Amino acid sequence: MSQHTKTTGFPISHVMGFLMSLVLTFGAVFVALKTSLPLKTIIWVIGTLAVIQAAMQLYMFMHMNEGEDGKAQLINIVYAFFIAAVTVFGTVWVMSFGM
């Protein structure tokens, strides 16, 4: 039986994750407001930065790399994406067709 030891030092990984989130956010703001790129390109860049930020936050803040059973965490993530997709597409469907 192994015993896990928990360190209570300074959470440098959380600070680094926060700073990386700020960099990605300000990068998206810069692309949106200070560049003369076509609208489609701006939307793709912002979307890409958003996906990168979401993945980084799952890894750094939600501790997706921790735990003994990575399968349960993967199932939870897939389920969350399914619920998000059903919510978004269901809302668009209802608002578009009034059903």
Tens of pLDDT, residue by residue over 36-51, are 999 999 999 999 999 9
Contact 28, 46 (CB under 8 A): yes
> Which pLDDT belongs to residue 92?
92
Whether the per-residue pLDDT at 26 is higher than 70: the answer is yes
Among residues 84, 21, 13, which one has the least CA distance to residue 57?
21
Specify the amino acid at residue 37.
L
Count CB neighbours of 74 within 10 A: 11
Element (H, E) at 81: helix 70-97
Domain ranges of the chain: 13-66, 68-99
> Which pLDDT belongs to residue 49?
95
The better pLDDT of the pair 62, 89 is held by: 89
Give the whole-angstrom CA distance, residue 5 versus residue 7: 7
Tens digit of each residue's pLDDT (9 = 90 or more) over 58-73: 878 776 666 666 677 7
Among residues 66, 62, 74, 64, which one has the least CA distance to residue 6?
66
Whether the per-residue pLDDT at 52 is higher than 90: the answer is yes
At residue 14, what are phi and psi to the nearest 5 degrees?
A: -70, -40
> Which pLDDT belongs to residue 1?
46
